[in-house]
Amino acid sequence: MPIASTLHPEGVSNDEFRAAMSRLAAGVCLITAHENPLTPDGPGGEDIGMTATAFMSVSLDPPLVLVSLREGSRMDDLLAEQPLWAVSVLADHQVQVAGRFSMKNRISDRLLFADLPYVRGEVSGAPLLTGALATLECRTENRVEAGDHTLVVGRVLTSALPSPDSPPLTYFRGRYRHLAG
């Protein structure tokens, strides 16, 4: 017997909404931040990363972007305290990176970054993937609670195009996809 989907007062169910939104193709990004050490004389901080498809440009003047984070996620908690973060827009050859950082219930991100080629952002200190279509370093300007997510608006502080001519990685109907040329 199938489990009934939650029906909201507006009349749409979780399953109906999820099915409709899965038809919206999205680019795939790796959002990263560097968590500072707990104590000044303690071991170095840790790099944190998460895959995001809910990322968009908001404004050109000033340059602003927005990422949607699941409320209470490790990244949401970190960005509530750490205002600097980074974005790597993934190329289609980076599908394994997207899968790696979308795993739920992982204990540490240290191993996830272990064999990835990246440079450390000069402003954010966060990892920026080598071979990404574009990279951005951001500072949080605003946080907005939105249902079970937090919308984080960031001012873009740096922008680079490490591998601008690669095809993008996209997400459509619940799967990573390659854009047909």
pLDDT digits (tens, 9 = 90+) for 103-148: 877 767 888 998 999 999 999 999 999 999 999 999 999 999 999 9
Residue 178's pLDDT is what? 83
For the residues 79-87, what does the mean pLDDT come to?
97
Cis status of the peptide bond prior to 162, with omega within 30 of 0: no
**3-state DSSP assignment of residue 125:** coil
**Neighbouring C-alpha atoms within 13 Å toward the C-beta of 175:** 4
Instruction: List, for residues 57-79, the tens digit of each pLDDT value.
Output: 999 999 999 999 999 999 999 99
Residue 25's pLDDT is what? 83
